[in-house]
Amino acid sequence: MHKGRARAFTNIALIKYWGKKDETLILPMNNSLSLTLDAFYTETEVIFNETFTQDTFYLDGVLQDEKATKKISQFLDLVREIAKKNLYAQVTSENFVPTAAGLASSASGLAALAAASNEALKLQLSETDLSRLARRGSGSACRSIFGGFVEWEQGIDDHSSYATPLSSDHWEDDLAMLFVLVNDQQKDVSSRDGMYRTVTTSSFYPGWLADAPKDLATAKKAIQEKDFIALGEVTEANGLKMHGTTLAAVPPFTYWSPDSLKAMQAVRKLRADGINCYFTMDAGPNVKILVEKKNSKDVKKYLETLFDSSQLVCAYAGPGIEILK
Ligand code: 2P0
């Protein structure tokens, strides 16, 4: 029996990954930049055993169906290939999220599974190799191997596409990200399907691709100079551009709900009142607000006049993967 356990934290992109140039290898169309957070994480245990006759996957105590297990099995096939071992596995994952808010993240999930597998089979992969491996499970997972600010270099092949931590002199410790958890009545378009549809059909997509490298350069400069306003402005603009592409997809779609707009308006109002904060959104209606730690209480206080306090979660910068005994 070969057993490993690991914890990985979720990350939120300030410069988004949106679109693949290779669907199988999960090579992105552009570099992205994220902040790993401390509030949401996944703990995963993987056991490879000679006596198992298939892969099984438990998430939050519930045995998962064929579709969810298949994604895990395909990832484990990569691990088995690296290990040159033909063993089935039992994967037990727990997502730690403050409320049942649909924030279960494939980023933390696949990063934890990659790290746990590395541990179980004593593969001794470097963090760079782990990032490459996690990427094959879910693109954004390659960034969750590391803490703080992280850049995912798109690369041109399996070998050259991986994430690296950005040096920031610990500036991320002065920042916070406030989550506004919004209920959504709409049918979900998964990020995988959403980005595929956008790349293949949206006439706005070339505009996204033209701007992404410039936005990335602006964000990296802002981090180097600890310029919060510059980082916030480019984060908000880049997120809006990503969401703009979905409106021109065929068929069109949006991840925004009325409450998402309400949260965005609140951020604009706070800025007008002199509190610097900026929003971003991912493949769902939740709004994430980047703010300096020193102002996070004031932002939360204002949002509590608009949303239930159970919908508001404040996160800080988080660490990279952790091996659990
Ligand atoms: C990001 N998202 O950079 C972007 C912004 C969502 C919007 O990465 O298909 O679950 O498994 O590679 O990583 C979510 O997409 O997609 C994501 P796959 P993933 O965070």
7 and 94 within one domain = yes
In-domain check, residue 134 = yes
Q: 33-66, pLDDT tens digit by residue? A: 999 999 999 999 999 999 999 999 999 999 999 9
190 and 94 within one domain = no
- pLDDT value of residue 249: 98
User: pTM to 2 decimals?
Assistant: 0.97
Q: Which domain holds residue 235?
A: 173-314
233 and 200 within one domain = yes
- pLDDT value of residue 105: 76
CA–CA gap between residue 284 and residue 268 (Å, rounded) = 20
- pLDDT value of residue 103: 67
SS3 string, 61-113, reads CEECCHHHHHHHHHHHHHHHHHHCCCCEEEEEEEEECCCCCCCCCHHHHHHHH
Assign residue 103 the CATH number of its domain: 3.30.230.10
CA 217 to ligand 1 centroid distance, Å: 20
Both tokens of 125, joined, read 């992969």
Q: Which of 121, 146, 170 is the last residue of a domain?
A: 170
- pLDDT value of residue 11: 97
Q: Which of 143, 170, 197 is the last residue of a domain?
A: 170
CA 291 to ligand 1 centroid distance, Å: 22
- pLDDT value of residue 188: 81
In-domain check, residue 166 = yes
CA 194 to ligand 1 centroid distance, Å: 10
Ranges of the chain with pLDDT below 70 = 98-104, 184-187
Single out the residue of 133, 173, 149, 168 nearest to residue 35, CA to CA: 149
Classify the phi-psi angles of 45: left when phi > 0, otherwise alpha if psi is within -120 to 50, otherwise beta: beta
Number of compact structural domains in the chain: 2
Nearest CA to ligand 1 atom 11: 138
- pLDDT value of residue 54: 98
36 and 154 within one domain = yes
- Judge whether 4 and 230 are in contact, CB under 8 Å: no
195 and 136 within one domain = no
188 and 164 within one domain = no
Q: Which of 27, 138, 216 to mutate to test the pocket of ligand 1 (most atoms within 8 A of CB)?
A: 138
State the Cα angle at 79 between 73 and 81, rounded to 5°: 105
Assign residue 295 the CATH number of its domain: 3.30.70.890
Nearest CA to ligand 1 atom 4: 17
- Judge whether 147 and 165 are in contact, CB under 8 Å: yes
Q: For residue 11, give the ligand 1 atom closest to its CA.
A: 20
181 and 143 within one domain = no
In-domain check, residue 325 = no
In-domain check, residue 194 = yes
- pLDDT value of residue 71: 94
Q: 177-229, pLDDT tens digit by residue? A: 999 999 766 668 999 999 999 999 999 999 999 999 999 999 999 999 999 99
In-domain check, residue 323 = no
What rounded mean pLDDT belongs to the chain? 96
- pLDDT value of residue 115: 98
Q: Is the dihedral of CA 160, 26, 28, 106 positive or negative?
A: negative
